[in-house]
């Protein structure tokens, strides 16, 4: 089974809130979708790990659904700190089996893999939180017997990246307890994230964890402390392709997509 992992599209219709976002992000997404749709062999499932839109407006999600329409792959999505949960849920209610309650969480089994969509958004804040209710939800799901591999989708990475700026606005609540939960889990488990606008891979409490890059803008590698605002850099954009075999193992490949070299919007705004 092939899985495409995208993140942090920050799509907008009117004008972006974010600093440095590329003005032609809709065109960029069209190119990425075309690349996924043409990939051989077919990509079975496309995962979007949050910040799907830049402002969370209804028309942003309408455009997103329109641009994703050429995909024959199954689409799974979760919100990020730039999304508005109510509009996100309304936009994806027809294809995602959201559970009752405020959080946008759900479980999907596809191609023998169990996907757990874990909502880390603390609306109104850039940083993420896993409150006791969300931790209890994912703990209960992980405790349920499942024969195949499990993939957890979450916008805010739970690990310490060493990039102080993003660690300061990372998962500020629940990461410790969630980490102990992951360490106790036995079986094939991996985590897909977004938020830091730079492709990153990590081993975290025994689980493989990857952050997909962003077509909206990407940030430089800065492992210095204290944190400074991230520098936006022109590094090639790639989404990840997971080639998963029947035994629960997988290899991960960056799939590069040429985007336009149009300059970024000079408008000031909030960060990643």
Residue among 8 and 60 whose Cβ is closer to Fe ion: 8
**x/- contact string, 38-77, with Fe ion (CB under 5 A)?**
-------------x--------------------------
Nearer to Fe ion, 248 or 269 (CB): 269
Closest CA to 199 of 60, 5, 2: 5
Pairwise CA distance, residues 243 & 245, whole Å: 7
SS (H, E, C) 114-162: EEEECCCECCCCCCEECCHHHHHHHHHHHHCCCCCCEEEECCCCCCCCC
**Shorter beta-carbon distance to Fe ion: residue 46 or 216:** 216
Q: How many residues bind Fe ion (CB under 5 A)?
A: 3
Q: Per rule CB under 5 A, is residue 83 in the interface with Fe ion?
A: no
Binding mask 4-23 for Fe ion (x = CB under 5 A): ----x---------------
- Residue 231, Cα to own-chain centre: how many angstroms? 21
Residues ≥6 apart with Cβ < 8 Å to 97: 106, 107, 108
Q: Are 229 and 271 in contact (CB under 8 A)?
A: yes
Residue 213 CB, nearest distance to Fe ion (Å)?
11
* Residue nearest Fe ion (C-beta atom): 51
Site string for Fe ion, 253-272 (x = CB under 5 A): -------------------x
CB of 198 to Fe ion, least distance (A): 11
Q: Which pair of tokens denotes residue 95? A: 């294809």
Residue 30 Cβ, how far from Fe ion at the closest point, in Å? 19
Which of 18, 9, 20, 16 lies closest to 220, judged by CA? 20
Minimum CB distance to Fe ion smaller for 17 or for 51: 51
Cα 30 → chain centroid: 18
Give min distance, CB of 214 to Fe ion, in A.
6
How far apart are CB 62 and Fe ion at their closest, in Å? 20
| Chain residues that interact with Fe ion, rule: CB under 5 A | 8, 51, 272
């Amino acid at each position: 089974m092939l899985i495409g992992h995208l993140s942090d599209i920050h799509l907008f219709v009117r004008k972006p809130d974010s600093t440095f976002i590329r003005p032609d992000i809709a065109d960029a997404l069209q190119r990425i979708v075309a690349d996924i749709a043409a990939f051989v062999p077919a990509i079975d499932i496309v995962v979007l790990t949050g910040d799907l839109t830049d402002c969370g407006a209804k028309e942003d999600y309408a455009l997103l659904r329109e641009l994703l329409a050429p995909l024959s792959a199954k689409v799974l999505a979760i919100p990020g700190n730039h999304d508005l949960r109510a509009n996100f849920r309304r936009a994806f209610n027809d294809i995602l089996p959201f559970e009752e309650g405020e959080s946008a969480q759900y479980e999907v089994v596809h191609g023998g893999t169990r996907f757990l969509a874990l909502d880390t958004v603390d609306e109104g804040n850039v940083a993420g939180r896993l409150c006791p209710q969300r931790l209890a939800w994912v703990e209960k799901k992980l405790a349920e017997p499942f024969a195949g591999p499990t993939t957890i989708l979450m916008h805010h990475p739970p690990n310490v990246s060493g990039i102080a700026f993003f660690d300061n606005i990372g998962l500020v609540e629940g990461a410790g307890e969630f980490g102990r939960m992951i360490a106790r889990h036995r079986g094939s488990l991996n985590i897909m994230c977004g938020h830091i606008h730079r492709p990153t891979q990590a081993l975290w409490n025994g689980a493989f964890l990857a952050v997909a890059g962003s077509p909206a803008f990407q940030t430089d590698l800065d492992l210095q402390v204290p944190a400074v605002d991230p520098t936006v850099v022109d590094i090639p954009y790639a989404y990840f392709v997971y080639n998963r075999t029947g035994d629960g193992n997988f290899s991960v490949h960056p799939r590069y997509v040429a985007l336009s070299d149009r300059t970024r919007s000079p408008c000031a705004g909030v960060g990643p």
